[in-house]
Structure 1
Amino acid sequence: MAIVVGYVATREGRAALKRAAEECLLRNAKLIVISSHRGGSKDFDADEASQFEAELARVARQLQDEGLEHEVRTLVRGNDPAEDLISVAEAENADFIVIGLRRRSPVGKLILGSNAQRILLDASCPVLAVKAE
């Protein structure tokens, strides 16, 4: 059994990680944490990359302390995060994917969010969407 979670260091990302970890404990499943970045962007420089790596190391320590079987992957392949999560979930034959959702304005609700919408519509496994507390 495996559960895939998309992780970004935001309230929504932490909520998704927390819920995915809880589900893994309940199901005795492996947790696969995916941090996906397009790369090659002016916004994703060396400093930001090192901050992401430090955050992911903290997440790995936290999961280790909780006694969870886990794997943390940073993917910089030029794909949308949705594409990376879906492909990892399919390759790992995941039981489901966990994603975090944020509140949106009425106009934002119309679009939902391209990554969240794509995961919900295109994933071949169930998707658990959680909100931050």
Structure 2
Amino acid sequence: MSVLVAVPDSAEGTAALVAAAQEAEMLGTDLVILNLALKPLDRRTVPAGATVVERSGPADRDPVDAVLDEIAGRTVDRLVIGVRRRSRVGKAFIGSISSRLLMESPVPVLAVKLPVSEHHPG
């Protein structure tokens, strides 16, 4: 059993990683970090004892498929993702990675937002 966190190269990814470490500790289970960035994860941000999995496949592989494949290959209790604050117009667009994971994940999803003070539009 484990908590899987999908970590893109963004502030939202960092927030998701922090929340996932807390969730894994609370549940008394393993933490698996799926690095969705196309560069190596900064190992200084990795909690002790966590397993890091680099995204496999071609650079243009759908990140949602990478996350769902990782869930299918493990016993995952919870998926943790970072989500961006979006405008009303932005919310109307379907197909964002986080929206798709919320809809398609076969396990419960913990969606983490940055605190308003840390939000950077753009």
CA displacement, residues 28-72 of structure 1 (integer Å, 9 cap, x when unaligned): 1111111125xxxxxxxxxxx5xx32x432223xx11xxxx3111
* 2:92 matches 1:116: no
Mapped partners of 2:52, 2:81: distance in 1: 15
Instruction: Please tell me whether the aligned partners of residues 4 and 32 of structure 2 are also in contact (alpha carbons under 8 angstroms).
Output: yes
In terms of fraction of residues, the more helix-rich structure is: 1
Which residue is 1:36 aligned to? Answer: 36
Q: CA deviation at 1:112?
A: 5.3
Where do 4+ consecutive residues of structure 1 move more than 4 Å?
none
CA displacement, residues 71-99 of structure 1 (integer Å, 9 cap, x when unaligned): 11111413211111111112112001000
1:75 to 55, 59, 62: 55
Mapped partners of 2:69, 2:24: distance in 1: 20
Q: CA deviation at 1:6?
A: 0.7
Q: What is the TM-score of this pair, normalised by structure 1? A: 0.76
Which residue is 1:9 aligned to? Answer: 9
> Aligned Cα RMSD in Å?
1.7
Paired residues, number: 113
Runs of 5+ consecutive residues of structure 2 not aligned to the other structure = 116-122
Instruction: Please tell me whether the aligned partners of residues 3 and 95 of structure 1 are also in contact (alpha carbons under 8 angstroms).
Output: yes
Mapped partners of 2:99, 2:10: distance in 1: 19
Mapped partners of 1:8, 1:77: distance in 2: 16
Which residue is 2:23 aligned to? Answer: 23
Runs of 5+ consecutive residues of structure 1 not aligned to the other structure = 38-48
Q: CA deviation at 1:15?
A: 0.9
Mapped partners of 1:117, 1:91: distance in 2: 22
Instruction: Please tell me whether the aligned partners of residues 4 and 98 of structure 1 are also in contact (alpha carbons under 8 angstroms).
Output: yes
Q: What is the TM-score of this pair, normalised by structure 2? A: 0.83
> Which residue identity lines up with residue 13 of structure 2 in the other structure?
G
User: SS of the residue aligned with 2:36?
Assistant: strand
Mapped partners of 2:42, 2:3: distance in 1: 17
Mapped partners of 1:85, 1:109: distance in 2: 22
Which residue is 1:85 aligned to? Answer: 67
> Which residue identity lines up with residue 43 of structure 2 in the other structure?
A
